[in-house]
Chain A
């Protein structure tokens, strides 16, 4: 009975996404096996709120208001985990200048290992 109760009531906790990220598709994919090295960074249009649809950046659970803050956040993360990989979950339709701005921030922070998160192409393999 307990087993069934927990099976029904347990929800795996995932980060609460405030931006929409529909990932692009790609073929040359690699897997990241070491989950603890990953830090997720989301770029995409806001799902709700008064500025709905505006491109926003989210790291873990919080929206980033000021783009210059990415540097400090990532720098601190890098101190904790020197082999940090930033998994960039970027919406398909985001513009490259936002992506580039974020990348420049990451370079400033010194988090150079990134991963453009993308899903497997439908029909491939």
Chain B
């Protein structure tokens, strides 16, 4: 299964990549074979990191909230934050940090303004549970949920350049950027970079 096809397609071959929250390394394996990279990963869960290293992958157990500061600027061609920014303690600080460390940063996240989510809150008056956001309100790791509009506002405020975007809706169907993605897409992908010096 090509679970990470959208992101993979944005990565140039033989690039230096860092994957944040890489888990047991499924994404790294796919990326390494599809784009001939020697990607590195970071994850906080020792059990998952153990699995990833056992697969011969280059992964560091560490906390994205605190341990990214160790990397020098522009260490990577791409930094990938797939479905993790909303679980960070300070998402803004992490984004500002990674646009320094990577020439390109790919951020993907569940869009909280997705129509079925809006309808659930409106009609049931309860926190929505979807395939992408399956948790109860009390055990959700997603402590900083946001929307596509929120993210774009943030990029504008921080002078972050958005170079690519991709939206998927119900059943992972692609949603064109002109078709109100903030309403119709469940998941969003952005490629961003810091200001050119």
- Interaction A to B: no
Q: Which residues of A line the B interface, CB within 8 A?
A: none
